[in-house]
Structure formats: C-alpha cells, structure tokens
C-alpha cells in the first residue's frame, strides 16, 4: 500500500533488532523480496536496527548487517553507538540513519553523528520548529533532517519510558511496549485496598494518554524550518491506514513543494482514519497533548480491496459487509477519492448477489474505471466512530 499510494521510501524491520517486536516483521527472504519490489517502483527501503541490543544479541548482529547490504537496503536506522560502529564495519556501503530513539535535540549531537558517518538524523519528536530551524542552521547541508509528521505520540521522551517494563516486563526499548500510557488509572488509598477512586471529577482517568500527531496542514512550515524528509508512524497500523495516510500526505507534500495551498479534501482525509484526537505535537510549543479517554475516532471503514481489474469490472476481496445500493468510495492511487453507487454485485462465479457479508469472500462488481490491484474501497459511516 505504501508503494501504491505514493511513498518515496518505506521503513520496516527483520525478525530482530526492530522497535516493533509484535509487528510480524520480515524474514530474511521476505525482506529481500520487499526490497526488490520497492526498488522496482523506484522506492527506497530503510531497515530498522533501532533497539538497544544486549550482550547476548551482539553475536547475531554482524551477519544480519552484512545480509542487509547484500539485499540492497537503502539505509540502516540505528539508535545505539555499538550498532552504528558495527554497521560501518559490516555494512559499509549502506547509508546510516539515526533513529528518533537516539534523542537528537541539538546541532552538536547531529554534527557528531554526521562525523560518525550518518547521512540522515531522525530528530527527537520533542523539538519545536524554531529548534529545528536552529539545528539546520548549524549542521552541514549534506546531513538530512527527518521529522515525524503523523501518528501516535509517546508520553515519554521518544520512547524511553520504563513503565511498560516495570508493569508488564515488556521492554519499550526492545520493541515490546505494552502501551500502559493508554490504560485507565484509578487511585487506591493505602489503608483501603480494593477501593478504587476516579482521579478526576469528570470521570477521566487516562492521565498518561497522548493525542495523535497530525501535521498535514503545516508541511510548508516544516520545509521552511529545514526538514528534508517526512516520516509517518504506522508500522502497527492496517494496510488501509497505510494507503490513506500515505495518499493524503503525498498530495499535501506535492502541494507544499509547488507552493499551492492544501486542499480541504486532504485534511479531511486523515479524519477518515482510526485515530485519537489530533495535535501538532511540540512543533508550535507545548502541545497540550493529553486526551482524557482511550477513544479512537474514524469516519469510514474499508469494505474491499481490488485483486484484479479488467476494463470496468473488478475481482475484489471483502473486508467489511456492505449492500447493493450502498454508496462507496474508491481510494484512487495518485488521485482524489471517487464516490459511486454499488449498483451491481456478483459472487466469484458471476451470479448476482444482494450483499457482501462473508469475511474475505471474493466477489465481482463494476467500477467507474479501471484501477490497479490493491486499490481500496471504503464506506463512510453515517455516524463517525467515537462521536
């Protein structure tokens, strides 16, 4: 979906050393195939090696780094000085990116990492635009500055929270965060165990829960501050999320680069996705990032994905139930969403049907025009979830 909907680069991980341990991730064979597929589309692949490896893991790292070079990875994303040194030794031809986990908040840190061989620094999420502008003014132009523009925010400093490790034994710095900052907390008085008290008068007890970051309306300011690449958090999200958010930011970035205003369509598009209330993070000062519940909002559901499309008839796979006569939208790669009525539906054998209700069932339907495989169909909700 990232390739189809306009990403210039994707970041992903192998089975070890990445900060999303439960994401499934790529075997060596699958990772090599993913790199080949991305390169066939002119898209770069950055591989995350951004955990803080323990001593018993180090013996496996050199062979993995060498494999990444052989597989054609376009960059290794690292957060540990030891990993940086090993990457220079065992994958010297692969560019080095510094993870946001490193916590770069100054030009001194950025310049030191540049001297160590980094060509890109993913800045800490806690920086303001003014701070980024100052870092850009005091670093070599050859050093690329990357910044997060969309996705979940961490209540701690760039993922350095130890709460998950303390409460569950799952280490956030090893890609296993249980996200206890999203939990609902109560107060217990020492001498009254078992009696739970709400922490606030209005019933909200999500005292550590962050909003989501959304900077789609502020890309010109980011570019003006010296940011050279935009990063979307999304490795634990759905394929639909990847498609829609990539599509929206692709259009927003193209408009910003051309000096055109952002169309309201693309700001509205990010509201279609499952998200917490949005914030601009620290870019314009203290973010007011907390939200008092764990609710996600969204305005549409993906109902099908195109498998093949010939002329104006497509074979699709169902994702959510819908009926003949429903109004749907094609999330067109490279174009605006297109609304149409599902006036005809057929099963995989070509027999007419009234609805598409079985999970993952194949079916056929006419579309307004031919679209590539992977194109998403969605249905807007009458009442947005979370409203």
64, pLDDT greater than 90: yes
Q: What is the DSSP string of 18-39?
A: -S-TTS--B-HHHHHHHHHHHH
pTM for the full predicted model: 0.86
Render pLDDT for 288-303 as a digit per residue (tens, 0 to 9). Answer: 666 666 667 788 999 9
Do residues 373 and 307 lie in contact, with contact meaning Cβ atoms separated by under 8 Å? yes
- The confidence score (pLDDT) of residue 160 equals 67
34, pLDDT greater than 60: yes
31, pLDDT greater than 90: yes
pLDDT band at residue 321 under the 50/70/90 scheme? very high
pLDDT band at residue 53 under the 50/70/90 scheme? confident
- The confidence score (pLDDT) of residue 387 equals 43
62, pLDDT greater than 70: yes
- The confidence score (pLDDT) of residue 370 equals 94
Q: What is the percent of the chain where pLDDT is above 70?
A: 88
Minimum mean pLDDT among 18-22, 128-132, 134-138, 184-188: which range?
18-22
CA-CA distance, 211 to 295, in Å (whole number)?
10
- The confidence score (pLDDT) of residue 201 equals 46
pLDDT band at residue 384 under the 50/70/90 scheme? low
- The confidence score (pLDDT) of residue 361 equals 96
Render pLDDT for 154-165 as a digit per residue (tens, 0 to 9). Answer: 776 666 677 777
Minimum mean pLDDT among 57-71, 168-182, 245-259: which range?
168-182
Do residues 297 and 386 lie in contact, with contact meaning Cβ atoms separated by under 8 Å? yes
CA-CA distance, 305 to 374, in Å (whole number)?
6
Range 178-203 average pLDDT = 70
Render pLDDT for 332-346 as a digit per residue (tens, 0 to 9). Answer: 999 999 999 999 999
The alpha carbon dihedral of 13, 15, 18, 23 has a sign of: positive
Crossing angle, helix 107-115 and helix 129-137, to 10 degrees? 50
| Cα separation of the two ends of the chain | 28
190, pLDDT greater than 90: no
Cβ contacts of 168 within 8 Å, gap of 6 or more? 178, 180
pLDDT band at residue 142 under the 50/70/90 scheme? very high
Residue ranges and CATH numbers for the domains of the chain are: 9-152+211-279 (3.20.20.70), 154-209 (no CATH), 300-385 (2.40.30.10)
- The confidence score (pLDDT) of residue 20 equals 67
Cα-based distances in Å from 325 to 304, 314, 328, 337, 369: 15, 17, 9, 18, 18
């Amino acid at each position: 979906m990232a390739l189809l909907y306009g990403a210039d680069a994707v970041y992903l991980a192998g089975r070890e050393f990445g900060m999303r341990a439960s994401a499934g991730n790529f075997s060596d064979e699958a990772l090599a195939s993913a790199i080949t597929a991305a390169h066939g589309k002119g898209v770069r692949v950055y591989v995350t090696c951004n955990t803080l490896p323990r001593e018993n893991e180090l013996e496996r790292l050199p062979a993995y780094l060498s494999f990444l070079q052989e597989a054609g990875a376009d960059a290794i994303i690292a957060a540990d000085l030891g990993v940086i040194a090993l990457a220079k030794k065992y994958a010297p031809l692969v560019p080095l990116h510094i993870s946001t986990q490193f916590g770069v908040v100054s030009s001194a840190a950025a310049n030191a990492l540049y001297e160590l061989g980094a060509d890109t620094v993913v800045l800490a999420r806690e920086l303001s635009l003014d701070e980024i502008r100052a870092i850009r003014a005091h670093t070599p132009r050859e050093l690329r500055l990357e910044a997060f523009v969309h996705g979940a925010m961490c209540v701690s400093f760039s993922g350095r929270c130890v709460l998950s490790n303390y409460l569950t034994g799952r280490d956030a710095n090893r890609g296993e965060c249980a996200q206890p900052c999203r939990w609902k907390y109560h107060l217990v008085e020492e001498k009254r165990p078992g009696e739970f008290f709400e922490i606030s008068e209005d019933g909200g007890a999500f005292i550590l829960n962050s909003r989501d970051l959304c900077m789609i309306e502020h890309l010109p300011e980011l570019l003006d501050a010296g940011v050279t690449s935009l990063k979307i958090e999304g490795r634990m999200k759905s394929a639909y999320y990847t498609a829609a958010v990539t599509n929206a930011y692709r259009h927003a970035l193209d408009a910003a680069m051309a000096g055109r205003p952002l169309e309201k369509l693309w700001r509205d598009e990010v509201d279609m996705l499952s998200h917490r209330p949005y914030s601009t993070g620290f870019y314009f000062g203290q973010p007011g990032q907390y939200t008092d519940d764990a609710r996600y909002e969204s305005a549409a559901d993906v109902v099908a994905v195109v498998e093949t499309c010939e002329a104006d008839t497509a074979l699709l796979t169902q994702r959510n139930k819908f009926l003949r006569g429903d109004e749907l939208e094609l999330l067109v790669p490279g174009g605006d969403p297109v609304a149409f009525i599902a006036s005809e539906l057929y099963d995989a054998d070509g027999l007419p049907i009234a609805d598409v209700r079985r999970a993952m069932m194949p079916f056929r339907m006419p579309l307004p025009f031919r679209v590539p495989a992977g194109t998403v169909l969605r249905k807007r909700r009458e009442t947005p979830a979370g409203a």
